[in-house]
């Protein structure tokens, strides 16, 4: 692999005697890792090595076509770099047996850390999962729908919009946009986009994100900052800047027994280098807020795109136990705590998803939402089991020549896990799997 000369020079200075081993690691084939869903993934037994810092994580021994695996579509596991799963180890240490009430994942797409946070929160509190870019926000929604929890809202906000939520958040996760050096081995084309100028631009952008979101953090709340790069200017220097404000202290994480993680003793923080761990490059630091930081005087923006509606009952969903909202082209049911958050901050947050989506709206017609079928708290009495061939046909958007007993809307399942909806008519099942989610490649 041809690595940028300036990058090699920087790493030689940073790593010293480890430099040659680091460079050799880029020629070692990297296999993917997965994190099992605590509920949906119970039946799976992956062929791989357990990841030391994540009980549900596995480093696979070979490559795999995830897009053609019905278990992946059902949300039984998430494909994620093993080093990124260190989030779980940190979360369990700082919160122990308690749960944060409000968590913000600022740069959330495609959803790896958000799905992990939802697991760790165990239906307690609320996760605000934010992604400003519209296309990436859609991908985030798809992945959170597959994961199936209802204690989350998805927003599409600029980080500066959160300065209005003053000292309300217990944990802020900033997995910052970065120069992506840790991705070189996985995505060699990333080397073409790298430059010292790009590193400098990323550093400025990271500092800007942090200065806008930290006022929203409670005193005593935690900031988890991470990148997939090795650059001190994007890592330690960002933490140093916050510490110089006098409003934060560093939290050290116990990594005894976790071989391969490199700790920076000067500013306690944690590097994952590809020559020492299975995964790609990764960095994480943990700070705790100790003093108030006044929000910047930014002009507030308002997003009146969420509207409370009277509780509706549908043929496929008759629980109707909580409040319902119309968000974009959907009807969502939310818990009382999410409803309170919407009341408090709904106009300042550009909410694209909240709680549990129970219906889609198309030309004033209601149909069951795929997110509802995948929701862990949804129990459907009428489901149709599919074998592997049928499941793959369904995931491609094909109708199935099956004459079901219960006509009308039914959930289809694979190995007991929901995939989505069909409408049973005489002699076949009409496919209602969302078009953007369908398998496009030939199988």
DSSP letters of 380-416? Answer: -S-EEEE-HHHHHHHHTT--B----SS-EEEEEEETT
Q: Which two tokens stand for residue 231?
A: 């650059």
Which tokens go with 184? 């070189």
Are 120 and 86 in contact, with CB atoms under 8 Å apart? no
Among residues 349, 305, 304, the alpha carbon closest in space to that of 130 is found at 349
State the Rg of the chain over Cα: 23
φ, ψ of residue 363 in degrees (nearest 5): 55, 50
How many residues are given for the chain?
443
Q: Which residues contact 109 (CB under 8 A, 6 or more apart)?
A: 131, 133, 136, 137, 139, 140
Q: How far is CA 326 from the centre of its chain?
A: 24
369 to each of 21, 100, 270, 318, 325, how far by Cα in Å? 50, 29, 41, 14, 14
Could you give the residue numbers annotated as active site?
Answer: 228
Helices (H) and strands (E) in the chain, counts: 12, 23
Q: How far is the C-alpha of 375 from the C-alpha of 280, rounded, in Å?
A: 31
The end-to-end CA distance of the chain, in Å, is 31
Residue from 288, 282, 290 nearest 87 by CA: 282
DSSP state of 47: S
| CA triple 93-108-30, angle to 5 deg | 80
Instruction: Give the list of residues 6+ apart from residue 210 with CB closer than 8 angstroms, or none.
Output: 174, 176, 223, 225, 238, 241, 242
């Amino acid at each position: 692999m041809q690595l940028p000369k300036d990058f090699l020079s920087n790493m030689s200075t940073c790593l010293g005697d480890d430099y040659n081993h680091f460079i050799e690691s880029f020629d070692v084939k990297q296999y993917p890792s997965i994190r099992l869903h605590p509920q949906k993934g119970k039946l799976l037994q992956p062929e791989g090595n357990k990841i030391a810092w994540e009980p549900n994580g596995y480093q696979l021994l070979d490559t795999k076509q995830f897009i053609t695996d019905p278990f992946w579509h059902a949300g039984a596991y998430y494909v994620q770099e093993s080093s990124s799963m260190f989030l779980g180890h940190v979360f369990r240490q700082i919160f122990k047996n308690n749960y944060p009430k409000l968590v913000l994942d600022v740069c959330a797409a495609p959803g790896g850390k958000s799905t992990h946070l939802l697991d760790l929160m165990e239906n307690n509190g609320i996760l605000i999962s934010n992604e400003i870019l519209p296309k990436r926000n859609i991908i985030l929604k798809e992945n959170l729908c597959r994961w199936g929890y209802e204690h989350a809202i998805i927003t599409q906000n600029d980080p500066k919009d959160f300065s209005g939520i003053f000292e309300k958040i217990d944990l802020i996760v900033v997995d910052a946009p970065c120069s992506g050096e840790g991705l070189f081995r996985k995505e060699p084309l990333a080397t073409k986009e790298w430059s010292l100028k790009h590193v400098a631009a990323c550093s400025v952008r990271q500092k800007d994100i942090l200065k806008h979101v930290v006022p929203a953090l409670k005193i005593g709340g935690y900031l988890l900052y991470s990148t997939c790069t090795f650059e001190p200017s994007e890592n330690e220097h960002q933490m140093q800047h916050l510490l110089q404000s006098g409003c934060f202290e560093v939290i050290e994480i116990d990594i005894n027994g976790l071989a391969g993680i490199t700790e920076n003793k000067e500013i306690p923080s944690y590097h994952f280098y590809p020559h020492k761990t299975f995964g790609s490059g990764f960095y994480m630091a943990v700070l705790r807020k100790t003093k108030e930081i006044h929000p910047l005087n930014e002009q507030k923006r308002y997003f009146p795109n969420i509207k409370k509606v009277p509780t509706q009952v549908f043929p496929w969903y008759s629980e109707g136990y909580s409040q319902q909202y119309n968000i974009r082209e959907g009807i969502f049911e939310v818990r009382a705590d999410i409803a309170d958050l919407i009341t408090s901050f709904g106009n300042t947050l550009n909410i694209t998803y909240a709680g549990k989506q129970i219906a889609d709206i198309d030309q004033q017609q209601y149909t069951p939402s795929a997110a509802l079928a995948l929701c862990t708290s949804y129990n459907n009495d009428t489901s149709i089991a599919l074998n592997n061939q049928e499941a793959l046909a369904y995931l491609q958007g094909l109708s199935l020549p099956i004459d079901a007993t219960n006509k009308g809307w039914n959930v289809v399942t694979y190995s007991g896990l929901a995939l989505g909806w069909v409408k049973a008519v005489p002699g076949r099942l009409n496919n209602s799997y969302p078009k953007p989610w369908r398998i496009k490649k030939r199988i």
